[in-house]
Amino acid sequence: MRIDVFTLFPQWFEWFETQRHVRNTIGQGTELRYVSYRDHTPLSGGQVDDTPFGGGAGMVLRVDVVDAALSGHYGHDSSELRSRRRVIALAPGGRLLDEKLVAELAGESELTLLCGRYEGFDERIVEHLATEAVSVGRYVLSGGELAAMVVCDAVLRRLPGALGHEDSALEESFSAALEGAPEYPHYTRPAEYRGWRVPDVLLSGHHERVREWRREQSRMRAGGAPGTGTDSPLR
Ligand code: ADE
């Protein structure tokens, strides 16, 4: 898989790449590339944004800058790019990232992520250059970089070899194995701490009962109805 991230702050991702599961997938052939809008801007002084038409606070990322960055990087007309790969504009009002979307993205061989800044994108970027807008939650970050890391993290950990232990992702929250429900609670040693005891069933060595208990806990967290409870709080 190859993910290209267009950003004003490529250096932010240096930390991200030190994370083990990210390093693991890179070791297995995944490529992450970062493209700086500023390296491609046709405007003087490294300008990439401008004041919004109609007035208002903040700055808006310019369509000509993103167009130049995409065509400069890929070497062909950027409006055609989206017929060949998913080009995702990260924006607070976009399609909410959930496990279904993560699975879809993990199935792609190439992805392009566009990070916005300040007040966000000129809407023509979303309409004509991107295939879709994706949000990591209904709150506003100061830019799309952290959102891009969230998308990359969730996608990369699904790729073979990312977690080191192939079973780790099989039975986790929202997986098919748990019928889309949140994961059951985990406990480890000590079995009792300050009077807080681990549920007896987990110490029983009775695998079938443990499985049943976990499934039940997971369903309870889903609000009782398997596959429908992703809105219920996990505490
Ligand atoms: N950019 C700013 N806020 C964002 C969010 N919540 N999701 C995705 N991109 C964003």
- Structure tokens of 16? 């991200």
Whether 173 and 179 have beta carbons less than 8 Å apart is answered as no
For ligand 1, the distance from its centroid to the CA atom of residue 134, given in whole angstroms, is 8
Out of 115, 136, 151, 152, give the residue to mutate to test ligand 1, the one with the largest number of ligand atoms within 8 Å of its CB. 136
Pocket of ligand 1 (CB under 6 A): 90-92, 116, 135-137, 139-141, 144, 147
For ligand 1, the distance from its centroid to the CA atom of residue 7, given in whole angstroms, is 13
For ligand 1, the distance from its centroid to the CA atom of residue 142, given in whole angstroms, is 8
- Nearest to residue 79, comparing CAs of 129, 140, 8? 129
What integer pLDDT is reported at residue 111 of this predicted model? Answer: 98
Specify the 3-state DSSP secondary structure of 105.
helix
- The residue contributing the CA closest to ligand 1 atom 10 is 91
For ligand 1, the distance from its centroid to the CA atom of residue 211, given in whole angstroms, is 38
Q: Which positions of the chain have pLDDT values less than 70?
A: 118, 165-170, 224-235
For ligand 1, the distance from its centroid to the CA atom of residue 24, given in whole angstroms, is 27
* Ligand 1, atom nearest to 134 Cα: 8
What integer pLDDT is reported at residue 167 of this predicted model? Answer: 58
Query: In sequence order, what DSSP letters do the residues of 145-182 get, joined into one string?
Result: HHHHHHHHHHHHTTSTTSSSSTTTTTTSTT-GGGTTPP
What integer pLDDT is reported at residue 178 of this predicted model? Answer: 78
Whether 227 and 178 have beta carbons less than 8 Å apart is answered as no
For ligand 1, the distance from its centroid to the CA atom of residue 206, given in whole angstroms, is 45
Statement: the pTM of the whole predicted model exceeds 0.85: yes
Strands ordered across the beta sheet of 2-7: 31-36, 2-7, 110-115, 86-96, 132-135
Give the side-chain half-sphere CA count within 13 A for 58.
12
- The residue contributing the CA closest to ligand 1 atom 6 is 92
- The residue contributing the CA closest to ligand 1 atom 2 is 141
* Interior angle at CA 122, CA 118 and CA 127, nearest 5: 135
